[in-house]
Amino acid sequence: MDLLYHGIIGYIISDLLYDKVFLHIIFVAMMPDLIGTTYFQYLVIKNSCKKTFKIFLKDIIKHSNKCIFFSKKDKIIYRTTHSLITLSIFMIVIYVKNIESFFGIFLAYLSHIIIDIFTHNNEFSTRILFPFSDFHIEGKFWLKNKKMFINIWLITIIIFIFVILS
């Protein structure tokens, strides 16, 4: 799903678990995309035609819709941040550093991976065991399924309002 959506999920997890909002939990919920797609987004912009602003925007949308990486490097970065192996290593670091709200951080990261399993396809399908296995499920890409995208957002907004008011 989109970055804002993952942030909202982080907010809900933090509020439900601790009755207060930890910014670092929201950050961790968005982290796989913040780190994992930055280089890809840079390549999207770099490879988009800059003849006019309209063509530039069209090209950006075209590249984003394709769900195909530009190089091995952007593929590896994306798949690394969306792997349960990386999550395990990350949680060991959090545990060793004795960082507050361990379980919240774990759930925030895990929620990102689980949500992405079902909302991405093609080369962006979540490889949960990367780099050891290519195992993945072909999800439905949220950018191309308006109905699914709106339904997921609607349900989440209702939960979000309920969490804020409770």
Q: Which of 66, 71, 61, 62 is nearest to 40 (CA)?
A: 71
Interacting positions 60-99 with Zn ion (CB under 5 A): none
On whether the CB atoms of residues 4 and 21 are closer than 8 A, the answer is: no
Shortest CB 8 distance to Zn ion, Å = 14
Interacting positions 42-61 with Zn ion (CB under 5 A): none
Report, in angstroms and rounded to the nearest whole number, the Rg of the chain calculated over CA atoms: 17
Distance CA 81, CA 1 (A): 14
116 binds Zn ion (CB under 5 A): yes
Stretch that binds Zn ion, among 24-32, 68-76, 130-138, 152-160 (CB under 5 A): 24-32
Distance CA 74, CA 148 (A): 27
Shortest CB 166 distance to Zn ion, Å = 28
**How many chain residues are in contact with Zn ion, going by CB under 5 A?**
3
Which residues are near Zn ion by CB under 5 A? 32-33, 116
